[in-house]
Structure 1
Amino acid sequence: MDNRKILQDFPKVELGFSPTPVVKLTNLSRHLGGPEILMKRDDLTGLALGGNKTRKLEYILGDALAKGCDTVVTAGAQQSNHCRQTAAAAAKLNMSCHLLLGGDKPDEATGNLLLDTLFGAQLHYCKDNRKGEDIPRLIEDLKSQGRKPYVIPYGGSNELGAIGFVEAGLELATQIDTDTLSQVFFASSSGGTHAGLMIARSILEHQYMLTGIQIDKAESSAGEFKQSVLALANSTSDALNLSQVFNQEDVILDDGYLGAGYGILNEREKSAIQLLAKTEGILLDPVYTGRAFAAMLDKIGSGELVSGQQVLFWHTGGAPSVFAYADKLL
């Protein structure tokens, strides 16, 4: 049975390269002396130096084009991978792009911010409002100019974005024997990747533990983020006409590695980035994958993950932001 048939009713535009490879981190696994470590290389999706948001945007922008929209609007931090890939996708599809970014305009554009500019996005600096709080006002302005705007939620995490990762989870099962996996780790921030992988795992009836490492401290209070992942998983399951209903126990979210907060690099994350670069020649980013990978390494070091097991790290991309953190990584 081709499980991907459940996705065929949703318009999709091809933006990246798939399937992305799964590789063995042989040198690192030997160095650590723990489980065999695999990596799903979604940093190689192709669009704008790669990243997981390409998968989400293929369905989100498929919907935008189907609705006749000519402008996309989204929001994020200044080093947002989502904003960078949205800007590139808009350029590829001949759409205008407006990005609402947190903070003030910097003196110099580096990393993802530089790429946003090269892709022709119009940048709006919104101080503390990095999650789209100012979007409604911009939408009214664009409509008054005769534009047909399409709003992409923070991180591209709605049902359409999550469907992109349902497809990704199904893709993984065509590449490796997932029955041998003990655990899959990934950075969990806006929820779409997490929700989509939960659904794919359920469809395939796989038993591996799916562990999201929480990235953003602002979402940590009272389990709000966990609840939002759960709600998105269930609404996406419903959109796909699946019978699966998830509960709180299905959302595995580790909030023990938040450090000083979002985008603040600590020594554990710095060491993880350096170790992977030196052993495998693979780059992690300082905000998302660096934090999540450091968490996985900590669990290996503590003996929670041991020799004889097999784990997979889902690399969601973000390498361009390395250049914006040069002074903190060296």
Structure 2
Amino acid sequence: MDIRYPSRIRLARIPTPIEFCPRLTEAFGGPRIFVKRDDLTGSVLSGNKVRKLEFSIAEALREKAQVIITAGGIQSNHCRATALVCARLGLECHLVLRGSRSRTPDGNLLLDYLAGARFSFFPREVYSTRKPEIVADLIERYAKQGKRAYYIPVGASNAIGTWGYVRAFEEILTQAERMKLTIHHLVTAVGSGGTMAGLLAGQLLTRRKNVRIWGVNVCDDAQTFITEIRRILEEMNDRFHTRFRTSSVAVNILDGYVGEGYAIPYNDELKLIAFAARAEGLVFDPVYTGKALYGLREEIRKGRFRKNENVLFIHTGGVFGLFPQRDVIASVLRETIE
């Protein structure tokens, strides 16, 4: 069926390639591993967030916004992408960040500064409990300056942003058909829910029931994301009349690979990141894709995926998140070299 999309602004360099990973396949000892290279959606705009921003920013421009407000952690890939998109389009950007101001910004935060974003930093407990109030105050403050502000939620994970991965799902189907590739499973990291919600929405709208979609949560727990993803799909129903039966949508979350918490990497994950870089020339990040890839490997070892199947892993980018973790990564690298 033809999908009626909301309007979008072209920001991502797409389609991104699908690549076979022979050495990961051999090392994991299970199904054939393919990677959807959404780390190649741009240079500094790389990753999954820019697909969602194509729709979110288009809506902001329709509403005549002059300022974009969004939120996330200090090393948020989404905030970095938003700041750089705003710079590219001549919009102001204000980031509400969880954490404290750094004297020497690094990684994504450094790029936020280079892009000219404005900042409001808040301790975790304030950010977690007062974010709606903080955002409302900022919108009012800009209104008093005669500027219209538009708020994009964390990860652009809402009804409008999620269309980015509906479109990505259609893109994957087209590529697989051209490659004569049967994809049995899609695997993605889940941090705010919008990417997986979009993939599921794409599957529902295209009626391709033969692909199973799996998310590896990098924070919180499985039930949190089952609830959140169904909420996003319900929001799509409300805004775009998609008619998803959200209560019956299978949201498959592979839990157990968060470690000590969000953005806290662990040794086995970092060793796998190092192995993938050496074996395939693919660089995964310690916050999202590293944990998701580790989860995929462990689930293969548990027998969830069969050897005669094909698994497509969505590489959602995040390379800039490596640099603030340089010390812990260096210690693991020394172990692997020695």
- Deviations 1:263-286 (Å, cap 9, x if unpaired)? 111122112211211111111111
CA distance in 1, matches of 2:10, 2:181: 30
| Superposition deviation, residue 195 in structure 1 | 1.0
**Structure 1: which amino acid aligns with 2:203?**
R
Q: Which moved more, 1:300-309 or 1:55-64?
A: 300-309
Aligned: 1:257 with 2:257: yes
Aligned to 1:212: 215
- Residue segments in structure 2 that go unaligned for 5+ positions in a row: 331-338
Q: Write the mapping of 1:167-246 to structure 2, written as runs, cut at 5 A.
A: 167-177=167-177, 180-206=182-208, 207-217=210-220, 220=221, 223-246=223-246
Matched, 1:125 2:114: no
Please give the alpha-carbon distance, in whole angstroms, between the structure 2 residues aligned to 1:77 and 1:244: 31
Q: Which moved more, 1:50-59 or 1:262-271?
A: 262-271
Residue pairs, 1:38-187, within 5 angstroms: 38-46=34-42, 48-128=44-124, 129-130=126-127, 132-133=131-132, 134-177=134-177, 180-187=182-189
User: 1:254: Cα distance to partner?
Assistant: 2.1
**Aligned-partner Cα distance in 1 for 2:241–2:163:** 12
1:160–1:242 distance in 2 versus 1, CA, 3 Å: same
| 1:234-269, Cα deviation, whole Å (9 max, x unpaired) | 322454433331225511122221211111111221
Q: Distance in 1 between matches of 2:46 and 2:77?
A: 9
**What is the aligned-residue identity percentage?**
36
Which amino acid is the alignment partner of residue 63 of structure 2? K
| SS, match of residue 48 in structure 1 | coil
1:21-40 alignment, distance < 5 Å: 21-40=17-36
* Residue pair 1:87, 1:119 contacting (<8 A) in 2 also: yes
In structure 2, distance between residues paired with 1:309 and 1:273: 23
Summarize deviations over 1:187-210 as a string: whole Å, max 9, x none.
Answer: 111111111100111222222211
After the TM superposition, list the runs of 4 or more consecutive aligned residues in structure 1 that deviate by more than 4 angstroms. none
Residue 110 (structure 1) shift: 0.6
Alignment match, 2:336: none
Contact 2:233–2:244 (CA under 8 A) maintained in structure 1 = no
**Residue 70 of structure 1: how far off its partner (Å):** 0.5
Q: Confirm or deny: 8 A CA contact 1:101 1:123 kept in the other structure.
A: yes
The 5-angstrom pairing of residues 242-321 of structure 1 reads 242-247=242-247, 250-321=250-321
Q: Give me the whole-angstrom Cα distance separating, in 1, the residues matched to 2:100 and 2:297.
A: 35
Amino acid at match of 1:314: I
The gaps in structure 1 that reach 5 residues or longer are: none
1:249 and 1:68 map into 2 onto residues whose CA distance is: 35
Paired residue type of 1:81: N
Distance 2:157 2:101 in 1: 26
> Per-residue displacement from partner, 1:133-188 (whole Å, max 9, x unpaired)?
42122222111112111001111111111111111111110001497222111011
Alpha-carbon distance between aligned partners in 1 of 2:239 and 2:181, rounded to the nearest angstrom: 27
Structure 2 equivalent of residue 20 of structure 1: 16
- CA displacement 1:28-49 (0-9 Å, x = unmatched): 1123332100111111111524
Equivalenced residue count is 323
The answer on whether the counterparts of 1:230 and 1:248 sit within 8 Å (CA) in structure 2 is no
**Conserved? CA contact 1:23–1:41, under 8 Å:** yes
Measure, in 2, the Cα distance between the counterparts of 1:254 and 1:303: 13
1:130, distance to aligned residue in structure 2 (A): 4.5
Residues in 1 aligned to 2:236 and 2:74: alpha-carbon distance in whole angstroms: 29
Separation in 1 of the partners of 2:181 and 2:94? 43
Paired with 1:318 and 1:295, the residues of 2 have a C-alpha distance of 17
- Once the two structures are TM-superposed, the CA of residue 229 in structure 1 deviates from its matched residue by 0.7
Report the CA distance shift for 1:49/1:149 in structure 2 as closer, same or farther (over 3 A): closer
Query: In 2, distance between residues paired with 1:237 and 1:273?
Result: 38
Distance in 2 of aligned mates of 1:115 and 1:27: 33
